[in-house]
Every structure is written in structure tokens, then in C-alpha cells.
Amino acid sequence: MKTLVEFIWEQQSISSQATGEFSRLLNDIGIAAKIVNRDVNRAGLAGVLGLEGTTNVQGENQKKLDVLANNEFIKALRNGKQCAGIISEENDEVVVFDETTTRNAKYIVAIDPLDGSSNIEVNVPIGTIFAIYRRKSVGSSITMEDVLQAGTELVCGGYIIYGSSTMMVYTTGNGVNGFTYDPTCGIFILSHENMKIKDPGNIYSINEANYIYFPEGVKRYIKYCQEDDPSTGRPYTTRYIGSLISDFHRNLLRGGIYIYPGTKKNPAGKLRLLYECIPMAFIAEQAGAKASDGFRRILDIKPEHIHQRTPLFIGSKSMVEKAEEFMATYSPEFQEVYEKSEKK
């Protein structure tokens, strides 16, 4: 049995340049995850269900657990001193840590402290998504160049899923590994080594209630998924939880595609580039899967602002490629619509 802490230090020892700072940062995330896991597990008893009474920068109602999880991760990362600041779904601006203690900190973290907030009260899996970037401005103050890096610059992408069991899954660009939390001894243990997605899978995940707003390419792809063609395993089956992490995690283990498209009404879709789509796309690629906005590779998109949204097509490579084919054939005009939407 290998614990998360052992695994992190073992990986560090392989690299000749490693100084231990990244390992400490990842450990800090693991510690905050345990605290949030405890709060999520006891949510119905601990008086932390329901609304906080505030809204975030995107105008979404903040739940008490959104705020609590955000505070726990900020606290752990601030105390750990390995990162100079964070970008969080729950904070309008970049949270810059005390410069006197983090001037030389090498990292910046982007985080969705609680993903799937609408599922908090109903005992459905929720999670935390994080992305770790190397800072460009070590030795001085944080700059926008530090926080607006493309996914190709990512050092680490990961998530913690608080589900029927709690797991941490992450990659540093060297394969994807999953660690299951053992609540009896309070440690994450390596349970899913070098995860690879099944291709093709037979699951498609999309909020079909938005069907009338979807681009023609997405509508046609959904119909393609529903056609009877045993030679390609169709009709596929549909599964949609409404927490990106849970839908992605299931598709990663079983094989499938998750789509949250941009529409004429919401050209950039709903999901956020920096702390939802980029880390998931990095994990997907490392597991042999694919992530795009229907036209462009997610990791190649250069962010223009910290809460930028993007359409997302993610999952088994051949399934994403098929969906892209439908977009190119039936909705080519959306390529420009998607690109323009990110300037806003």
C-alpha cells in the first residue's frame, strides 16, 4: 500500500531539480481536502447546508459549503507558503498572499473549491478542482502573466471527489493516478494507478433540457448517440449528474463523453476555463482522452480573464472527435462565436 504522501515524495525524488516545494503544496491541498471531506460528510448535521446569502462574481448564489470549502483551501495554501496567490471561483479578484512571506513562492493555484454546488443537499457526489501553475514573477509581485497562463503551461491538474468514497485524482504530466481516502486512518491510498480511459465508451453526458438552444452540431451528435447501430455500440446510454467532477470521473472510469456546449444564448457555455476546464483537460489528455471547445484544444486556449468560460467537449478521444466532426459540418459558424465570446 502506498499513501498519497509517500507517492508525492517518491515522485519528487525522481526529479533532479525538485526542492520539495511542489510536494509540500500538493500535501497542503490534501490536508484541506480532508477537512472539506469531513464537512461534506457531516453537512446535514453541522448546519452548513443551504445558502450563504451572497453571490459570487458570476452572479451565482453561494452555498455555505462553497464559502467554507473556499476558506479551508485558502487557509491551507496561505499557511503552507508555497503558493503566492490563488484564483478561485468564489473570489472576484486574485487572492494575493502576504508578499513578505511568499515573494519567492514558485506557484499559483486556480481552484473551484466546491464543484456541483447544486447537488450539496441531495447527497450526490461533489468535488474540488485545482490547477497548479509555475509563477513567472518569482521574487516580485504577482502579475497577470502569472494568472493568465494557457493550459499547456500547467504543472499539475487534479480533483477531489467527495462521493460514495472520497478520491483524489491528479496528474503532473506523467500519467494519472487516483488515491482513495480511508476515513478510518485519515489517509489517501493509491488505488487507481496510471488511469486510462476506455475508447470508445458508451456514455454521453449532457444537460438535454437545454436542447432547443444547442448548436445544430450538438443536436445532431445527440441523435447520432441515440441511433441503433450495434456495430458501433449504439445507442449509447445517457448519464448526467450535474457535477462536472462526478460526470467526468465516471466517464474516465467507464469511457464516455461529457459536453457543455456554448449556445447562441450563452456562447461561452457555463464552465470556467481556468479552474474547471483546463485541469480536467490536462487529466483527460494524460489518460488518453481528449478535451476541446468543439473546435480547439482546451489546453491551447490562452485565457483573457480569470473567470472566463468556455464550451467543453471532453472524454474518450474517438467520441470527442466524432462530436467535433458534427460541429464542423453543421455548426461551423460557432467557431467564431466561441472565439469572440472569450473577449467579453
Distance CA 256, CA 249 (A): 10
* Closest distance of CB 260 from Mn ion, Å: 11
Task: Give the x/- contact pattern for ligand AHG in 33-62, rule: CB under 6 A.
Answer: ---------------------------x--
Q: Is 28 in the site for ligand AHG (CB under 6 A)?
A: no
Q: Where are the alpha helices (DSSP H) in 42-178?
A: 64-80, 99-102, 144-147
Q: How far is the CB of 33 from ligand AHG (least distance, A)?
A: 16
The answer to whether residue 85 forms part of the interface with ligand AHG (CB under 6 A) is no
Residue 164 to residue 85: CA distance in whole angstroms: 32
Select the residue interacting with ligand AHG from 138, 242, 335, 337 (CB under 6 A). Answer: 242
By CB under 6 A, is residue 142 in contact with ligand AHG? Answer: no
Among 72, 89, 293, 342, binds Mn ion (CB under 5 A): 89
The C-alpha atoms of residue 21 and residue 40 are separated, in whole angstroms, by 29
309 binds ligand AHG (CB under 6 A): no
Is residue 270 involved in binding ligand AHG (CB under 6 A)?
yes
Largest CA-CA distance found in the chain, in angstroms, rounded: 63
* Listed ranges 37-45, 111-119, 285-293, 326-334: which one lies at the site for ligand AHG (CB under 6 A): 111-119
- Is residue 112 at the binding interface for ligand AHG, with CB under 6 A as the rule? yes
- Among Mn ion, ligand AHG, none, the one that 238 touches (CB under a kind-dependent 5 to 8 A) is none
From 28, 89, 146, 293, residue interacting with ligand AHG (rule: CB under 6 A): 89
End-to-end CA distance of the chain: 49
Contacts 24+ apart (CB under 8 A), 205-208: 205/238, 205/239, 205/240, 205/241, 205/247, 205/250, 205/251, 205/256, 205/257, 205/258, 205/259, 206/238, 206/240, 206/258, 206/259, 206/260, 206/261, 207/240, 207/242, 207/260, 208/238, 208/240
In the complex, which residues of this chain contact Mn ion (CB under 5 A)?
Answer: 89, 112, 114-115
In the complex, which residues of this chain contact ligand AHG (CB under 6 A)?
Answer: 60, 89, 112, 115-117, 207, 242-244, 270
